[in-house]
Structure 1
Amino acid sequence: MIWAVNSAWSNVAKVDATPEGERPDSEGRNVLLVGSDSREGLTDEQRREFGTGSDTGGARTDSILVLHTGGGKSTLLSIPRDSYVEIPGNGMNKINAAFSIGGPKLLSQTIEHNTGLKMDGYMEIGFGGFAQVVDAVGGVNICVKNDMDDPKAHIDLKKGCQDMDGKTALGYVRARYSDPEGDLGRAKRQRQFLGALMGKVVTPSTMLQPWKIHSLGKDSEGALTVGEDDSMIGTARAFWAFRSIAKGDGNSVTVPVSSNNLPTPVGSAVQWDETQAPKLFEDLKADRPITVQPDDS
């Protein structure tokens, strides 16, 4: 068992994601999870098949989530990628610009600066890596709430529960033009799918069979990146927390917003609610039950 776990962990890439300088104090543990639009590892044929487009010359964040664990129920928080916030040293901009400008370190620093939550861990998965992981576990069953016909995401899904392979899953979590809630609706689907995926990865049928752990690590090699300071045990605990949330034993929320169409010098952006967002951040910072109503994702 130990050799299989160590073998799988050896396939995980490491990156410096720890902000420098003064950092906030917060109770519990917060792990930043980034879904980047990196095309690294995808062939030209796969880029056409997945509908990811050509290499952009630098990864951007397609999804930003924070997993909070502590003394009570775990909370998975989605941060809309178009949130208009202050990026330390770079003025006001959409939050996903922080990743483009300064990578994981600046994104972590930006989230800490605007939420007061200390980021204790980091996990990143790209387009190609996401599809790899889904296929490595044999697909994931997801219940689609509404018909979704989105040519840009290369999907045409009908309402109802269905098994999704890597290609379909990638389109499902990326689509927003077919969702009446736009970016916020996509954030809900990303949390829904992530929980279901992690739930399948850490099932007893996988974790208790060394050959399955070894196979999963090999098949999804290079799919996952974690912070240089992250431990194997800490990452495993995050996986279990995702699974708990997927089973209903936890909270799934989006940063409360007051506007989805805020005019700014960098285009239309998302504005956080000046009352509800700070209240949510304070609850998480103190590791107490959240007072913001969880959504239906």
Structure 2
Amino acid sequence: MSLLVLVLLVVAAGAWLYLWAAGNLRHVSALGGYAGRPAAGKGTNWLLVGSDSRSELTPRQRRDLHVGNGRVQNTDTIMVLHSGAHGPTLVSLPRDSYVPIPGHGSRKINEAYADGGPQLLTRTVEQATGLRIDHYAEVNFLGFVQIVDALDGVRLCLDKPLKDEMSGADFPAGCRRMNGTEALAYVRARYTDPEGDLGRVKRQRQLMGAVADGMASSDVYLDPSRSKRVLDASLAALRVDDDADVAQLLGMGRSMRQISSGAGTATTVPVRRPGVMVSGVGSVLPWKENGASRLFQALRNDERIPTSADK
């Protein structure tokens, strides 16, 4: 009988938290119609964005994270999450990807957010990939730190030491539990990584999987007070498109958990290596046209992605 009461309490608390989250979910106009927008394909596509806005960081947090003032409005993380008949597929789009930004010429893809916010970034991704984006989710610098801290940190494993003075990363090889500031430094590191931005996107996927695991752990969902603390941090950090609801967010979270457990697929859009220098733009990563085309065509048709896609 006591077990039944416990289960009922947890279910009741979960239902209350669900309704509370639904009323506190923040929305942003991220999806817009325009001439030539790709038609809807099979499956569901989320655009997942990590904004490097620093406007809400304290001076101490900026110092610890080795970042400057609050005027920067680019995106450090850009990923497309496709869910369909063959399980979820997560595709990283490196921030230095060289693509056309509507109305601004060809530039680094992460500049689209600064040029026109979520709508221009979404349109840029849609036109570069040929995929119709169904939903959008964005987390900022400070929010990301607070989510990880609300989870009491996340466990990450390094195959080799990582030190990057520009991001503040200084970690030995092996597994450790990182707090929010450490985790952000870990995923922002790229200047001492031989793979540069491509190494960073792998760490971004690793960290997102760790966060998804943490949110799905029994330590969180069986403890209503802790669940609310994690939800508070997540909702404060998160903005989603106007049509997204809590149920769809939970589905997105399940897809991320599948990927972190190995049940899904994680890859990076094929790019030319090494990068190339473009006057007035800097070092960029053009996509391999054939490889990128085959990858996104498979996602449009909800087929298994080509095995030759770069991991």
Q: TM-score range by the shorter chain?
A: over 0.9
Structure-2 separation of matches of 1:294 and 1:162: 30
**After alignment, is 241-250 or 206-215 more displaced?**
206-215
The answer on 1:72 being equivalent to 2:115 is no
Out of 159, 169, 182, the position equivalent to 2:183 is 169
Structure 2: 5+ residue stretches without partners: 1-13
| Aligned counterpart, 1:291 | 306
Aligned-residue Cα RMSD (Å) equals 1.6
2:99 maps to 85
**SS of corresponding position for 2:206:** helix
Question: Which structure 1 residue ranges, 4+ long, deviate > 3 Å from structure 2?
Answer: 8-12, 292-296
CA distance in 2, matches of 1:114, 1:275: 13
8 Å CA contact retained: 1:5, 1:214: no
Cα 1:220–1:291 change in 2 (3 A) is closer
Q: 1:73·1:289 contact (CA, 8 Å) conserved in 2?
A: no
> 1:3 aligned to 2:6?
no
Indicate the residue corresponding to 1:248 in structure 2: 262
Aligned to 1:21: 34
Q: Which of 256, 264, 273 lines up with 2:288 in the alignment? A: 273
Match of residue 53, structure 2, among 15, 23, 38: 38
Where 1:161 maps in the other structure, the secondary structure is strand
1:31 aligned counterpart, secondary structure: strand
Residue identity matched to 2:283: S
Task: Select the residue among 125, 128, 143 that pairs with 1:114.
Answer: 128
Number of equivalences = 295
> Higher Cα Rg: structure 1 or 2?
2
Residue 151 (str. 1) matches residue 169 (str. 2): no
Tell me if the contact between 1:7 and 1:217 (Cα under 8 Å) persists in the aligned partners: no
Shift of 1:263: 2.3
TM-score by length of 2: 0.90
Contact 1:68 1:74 in 2 (8 A): yes
Unaligned ranges ≥5, structure 1 = none
Whole-Å separation in 2 of the counterparts to 1:215 and 1:156: 29
Amino acid at match of 2:296: F
Output the CA distance in 1 between the equivalents of 2:220 and 2:309. Answer: 30
Structure-2 separation of matches of 1:245 and 1:184: 18
C-alpha displacement of 1:221: 4.7
Residue 159 of structure 1 aligns with an amino acid whose one-letter code is: A
Following the alignment from structure 1 to structure 2, what is the Cα–Cα distance between the partners of residues 18 and 44?
Answer: 34
**Contact 1:134 / 1:140 at 8 angstroms: preserved in 2?**
yes
d(CA) in 1 for partners of 2:137, 2:286: 25
Q: 1:131: how far off?
A: 0.6
Output the CA distance in 2 between the equivalents of 1:106 and 1:260.
28
Superposition deviation, residue 51 in structure 1: 1.6
How far residue 11 of structure 1 moved from its aligned partner, in angstroms, is 4.0
- Per-residue CA deviations over 1:112-142 (Å, capped at 9, x if unaligned) read 1011111111111111111100000111101
Instruction: Say whether residues 1:179 and 2:189 are aligned partners.
Output: no
Contact 2:213 2:260 in 1 (8 A): yes
TM-score (norm 1): 0.94
Separation of aligned partners in 2, 1:106 and 1:121: 14
Tell me: CA distance 1:84–1:294, structure 2 relative to 1, closer, same or farther (3 Å): closer
Match of 2:174 in 1: 160
- Matching residue of 1:53: 68
One-letter code of the match for 1:279? R
**1:9, distance to aligned residue in structure 2 (A):** 4.1
Give the letter for the 1:190 counterpart: Q
